[in-house]
Amino acid sequence: MRKQSATVIDVCCGSGNLGLAIAYFNPETIVFETDLSFDAVELAQENIKHLNLEKRVKVEQGDLLSSFENEEFYNKIELIVCNPPYISTSKVTKMPAEISSNEPVLAFDGGMMGFKIIQKLISDSPRFLKNSGWLIFEVGLGQGSFIIQLMERSNHYTNITPINDNLGNIRVIKAQKTRETQ
């Protein structure tokens, strides 16, 4: 059985791992990646070339979904994935050196409470997702329940499902765009 094609956006892509894995294991999929960091975009581009995925994976520098603000992308995306920065600004400087010394601050700093970027992602994604398209993103330790409440209150999502780590903490949330009425 042949898999259907899909269009995916990987937001805050960093080196491109999420989008590249999706493209590599789903040959009918087209992936668009974006990151605010120029260095991350360059690294993602190197990884795209290394895996010979230039025809199906494109990367752009931009703030969240800003690179896709046009009719080509509105209501046309089956899946948006994101591994956003989710550490509160005050905690970024207190992170262990073995973690923080290998990544730019931009990769960790999620704003004052740690979910500023996630809030924007939740708010902006429905404009890009097809009806019943999916949003899947990582959250920081202890943020899951609050973020699920934000999603429920937005009325843009259904099937909001937490995914827990081995200790029972919500670490990923997946949600489906609510069907729009005509």
Give the C-alpha separation, 103 to 96, whole Å.
12
Q: What pLDDT, on the 0 to 100 scale, is given for residue 182?
A: 38
Q: What pLDDT, on the 0 to 100 scale, is given for residue 1?
A: 39
Q: What pLDDT, on the 0 to 100 scale, is given for residue 143?
A: 86
With respect to residue 26, please indicate whether it lies within any of the assigned structural domains: yes
Q: For residues 57 and 13, is the Cβ–Cβ distance under 8 A?
A: no
With respect to residue 182, please indicate whether it lies within any of the assigned structural domains: no
In the chain, beta strands by DSSP E: 6-11, 29-35, 57-61, 77-82, 129-138, 157-164, 170-177
With respect to residue 79, please indicate whether it lies within any of the assigned structural domains: yes
Q: What pLDDT, on the 0 to 100 scale, is given for residue 181?
A: 42
Residue numbers in the chain where pLDDT is lower than 50: 1-2, 110, 181-182
With respect to residue 106, please indicate whether it lies within any of the assigned structural domains: yes
With respect to residue 1, please indicate whether it lies within any of the assigned structural domains: no
Q: What is the DSSP string of 161-176?
A: EEEE-TTS-EEEEEEE
Q: What pLDDT, on the 0 to 100 scale, is given for residue 168?
A: 96
Contacts of 10 (CB under 8 A, 6+ apart): 16, 18, 19, 22, 31, 32, 33, 34, 80, 81, 82
Distance from first CA to last CA of the chain, Å, rounded?
Answer: 33
Structural domain boundaries enclosing 87: 6-177
Q: What pLDDT, on the 0 to 100 scale, is given for residue 129?
A: 97
CATH number, residue 145: 3.40.50.150
With respect to residue 61, please indicate whether it lies within any of the assigned structural domains: yes
> For the chain, what is the domain count?
1
CA 175 to chain centre: 12
Tokens encoding 35: 């990151």
With respect to residue 45, please indicate whether it lies within any of the assigned structural domains: yes
- Could you give the 3-state DSSP secondary structure of residue 32? strand
Largest CA distance in the chain: 52
**Length of the chain (residues):** 182
Q: Which residue has the tokens 């073995």?
A: 98
